[in-house]
Amino acid sequence: MSEHLVAEGPTLEELKKIGMNTGLDDLAVTGVEPIVDARQAIEERKARGLHAGMTFTYGNAERATDPSQLFEGARSVLVGIRRYQPPSAMAQQTRQAAHNQRSRAVGSVAAYVSSDEYGLLREGLEAIAAHLETFGAHAEVVMDDNRLADRAVASKSGLGWLGRNTMLIHPQLGSWTVLGSVVTDAVIQEDSLRVVDECGACSRCSVECPTGAIDNFGVLDANRCLAWLLQAKGIFPRHHRIALGNRLYGCDDCQVVCPKNEEPQPVAITAPQRESDVDLVELLDSSDEKLMAKYGHWYIPRRRPEYLRRNALVVLGNVGNPSDPDVDRVIEASLDSPSPLVRSHAIWAACRLGKTDLVETRSSDALLRDDPDGWVASELAAWKISPALDIQ
């Protein structure tokens, strides 16, 4: 085994300073031993079906909880954390802008993607890796990657505790954070212990979750989590569509209500801003190419833009203005879409807005064509709608 012991390696303090000058808000270090309790947690959730078919760290729980498997000779994991602006401050700015420009229905985007936080997180981690390399060490950045369970190493490093809502909560920064690591063969002196759980008797996140996805302490049922359902393949479950409200990408509710996020914290280096409110009519009017160019940095199932349209139609059904002619127009265009996924969600949006006529006036042949999974047929049945008979 090639083991790289750096005689006069950098201290954690030195590395922390470099990270904090380039986008991080804190840094801690831990060893590469397997995190057995985290592995058990992943396996257990998978066995109970709470992963809802997700792969990510569930694909190989053993590897994701054993940083020593990242490369031969790995000795330390430096875990970096970056705080981002919570939605309340941002929402005010964007709502004002939306108000000034238009009064159309908008879908909300979760705070962690409303600015390029992962870009700055990566910059901070790469600066640390580069510094380690000047000492002859090998260093790899691993960030939001299926090969490592970020929260598990973060809690082991002492950066924070794992809250009831499953978020890593930093005692000073709260949970509006993203996490990533630098795995290295250098040995860095550890300086911290696990931070103890500070949720106490609170259960706000569990009570306020719109779909009741947080069952027990720290156990999330992804089958009910809106953040996952927006990224999952197939139809958006009918029984969770109203609960989706105006969320177009991600969900922030279990962090918004958390008292540990009440203390506002400054963000040292501001990340480049992206959209936090999306005009739904504009989205549904866009070509597939334009949609992927604009939202390609999101996790989109199978990289197929029809999923963006599916999500936008559910949100439009919830927040659209039924007297806006543009709403009718985009729903009608979606009812005529070649995608059965889009057609079935357009039926839902039309009916939810009380516009069953838009569906009823279409021919059954047109609506039901190419519907191998029966999505359109079951949507029509759910609303007890019989489309117009075809004129031969």
**Interface with ligand SF4, residue 204, by CB under 6 A:** yes
- Integer Cα distance of 291 and 146 in angstroms: 26
State the residue for tokens 């979760």: 110
Q: In the complex, what is the shortest distance from the CB of residue 23 to ligand SF4, in angstroms, rounded to a whole number?
A: 25
**Interface with ligand B12, residue 177, by CB under 6 A:** yes
Name which position in 31, 34, 56, 240 contacts ligand B12 (CB under 6 A).
56
Span 234-253, contacts to ligand B12 by CB under 6 A? 250-252
Q: Following DSSP, what letter does each residue of 76-125 receive, concatenated?
A: EEEEEEEE---HHHHHHHHHHHHHHH----EEEE-GGGTBTHHHHHHHHH
Residues 6+ apart with CB under 8 A from 362: 335, 336, 387, 388
Q: In the complex, what is the shortest distance from the CB of residue 156 to ligand SF4, in angstroms, rounded to a whole number?
A: 19
| Torsion of the alpha carbons at 326, 327, 332 and 334, rounded to the nearest 10 | 110
Q: In the complex, what is the shortest distance from the CB of residue 221 to ligand SF4, in angstroms, rounded to a whole number?
A: 8
Q: Residue 165, class by beta-carbon neighbours within 10 Å (0-12 exposed, 13-18 middle, 19+ buried)?
A: buried
Say which entry of ligand B12, ligand SF4, none residue 248 contacts (CB below 5 to 8 A, set by partner kind).
none
Beta carbon nearer to ligand B12, 139 or 152: 152
Q: Which region, judged by CB under 6 A, interacts with ligand B12, from 71-79, 217-225, 233-241, 366-374?
A: 217-225
Name which position in 32, 78, 179, 188 contacts ligand B12 (CB under 6 A).
179
Beta carbon nearer to ligand B12, 149 or 351: 149
Both tokens assigned to 65: 């909880």
DSSP 63: H
| Torsion of the alpha carbons at 180, 185, 188 and 190, rounded to the nearest 10 | 60
Name which position in 28, 254, 267, 350 contacts ligand SF4 (CB under 6 A).
254
Q: Which region, judged by CB under 6 A, interacts with ligand B12, from 18-26, 94-102, 221-229, 332-340?
A: 221-229
**Interface with ligand B12, residue 218, by CB under 6 A:** yes
**Interface with ligand SF4, residue 367, by CB under 6 A:** no
Residues 6+ apart with CB under 8 A from 361: 388
Residues 6+ apart with CB under 8 A from 24: 16, 80, 81, 82, 121, 124, 125
Q: Which region, judged by CB under 6 A, interacts with ligand SF4, from 10-18, 70-78, 157-165, 292-300?
A: 157-165
State the residue for tokens 């005010």: 92
Q: In the complex, what is the shortest distance from the CB of residue 74 to ligand SF4, in angstroms, rounded to a whole number?
A: 31
**Interface with ligand B12, residue 228, by CB under 6 A:** yes
Name which position in 209, 312, 313, 367 contacts ligand SF4 (CB under 6 A).
209
Both tokens assigned to 54: 């997700």
Beta carbon nearer to ligand B12, 205 or 351: 205
Beta carbon nearer to ligand SF4, 264 or 322: 264
**Interface with ligand B12, residue 215, by CB under 6 A:** no
Strands 106-109 and 247-249: parallel
- Residues near ligand SF4 (CB under 6 A) are 163-165, 199, 202-205, 209-211, 213-214, 220, 225-227, 251, 253-254, 257-260
